[in-house]
Chain A
């Protein structure tokens, strides 16, 4: 069974569209994350979500919004897509249930390659 899954694996869309990427984890973890990996392979944290508390990286445009229907899911919604949003987006999860995040190991999904035309 896949521990952290993402759908879709590939997403090609036009500028200006709105799209969502889904993430699910079956590890029973309390914290989930979204990362962006650019064309130079640089990984950067976008969001972390723990116990209904959302921590947003200040550099993330507000066109990006994570939505968590329950503890096992953290979906990423992107409005008004721009060319610069093209990247690979990774979802991750960790146990981190002490109120502190980033202490436990993060397990990553397979990534979603987003291409904005």
Chain B
């Protein structure tokens, strides 16, 4: 069965620090999709990124970057020069669309950025 592990339950940083949120996944499928979502204190779920298993290129979007490494089954998320508005719970998710037809979320990492 697929599994997503976000080992960091809570992280606290001071504004302008860089922070990396870890995500390790487990799947037997060769075709799968990985996602990151942000859940700010207001409660909505905001899509950040989707990556398929055949695309190992790292991605940068402004202060956000993602490091996908199939060799270690990890899809880590880094925020550079963190800001107070980055404070949220961040979820990593895995979908195995071709076998199990399922979507699994990690337990989430609560990031607090202090001024």
Contact = CB atoms under 8 A, between A and B. Distances in A.
Interface of A: 33, 40-45, 48, 55, 88, 90, 92, 100-111, 113
B101 A102 contact: yes
A43 B91 contact: yes
Given A41-B108, A105-B35, A106-B103, A100 B98 contact: yes
B14 interface: no
Given A100-B97, A102-B33, A102-B97, A45 B102 contact: yes
Interface residues of B, number: 25
Contacts of B97: 100-103
Contacts of B107: 40-42
Nearest to B35: A105
B13 to A, nearest CB: 20
A103 B95 contact: yes
Interface of B: 33, 35, 37, 39, 43-47, 50, 89, 91, 93, 95-98, 101-105, 107-108, 110
A72 to B, nearest CB: 19
Contacts, number: 58
B47 A106 contact: yes
B96 to A, nearest CB: 7
A46 to B, nearest CB: 11
9 contacts: A40-B107, A41-B89, A101-B101, A102-B101, A105-B47, A106-B35, A108-B46, A109-B44, A113-B43
Nearest to B108: A41
Nearest to A50: B101
Contacts of B93: 43
Contacts of B96: 102
Contact of A88 (B43, B46, B101, B105): B43
Given A45-B104, A92-B45, A110-B44, 8 more contacts: A43-B105, A45-B103, A101-B97, A102-B95, A105-B47, A106-B103, A108-B37, A111-B44
A110 to B, nearest CB: 5
By Cβ-Cβ distance, the 5 closest A-B pairs, closest first, are A102-B95, A108-B45, A43-B105, A103-B97, A102-B97
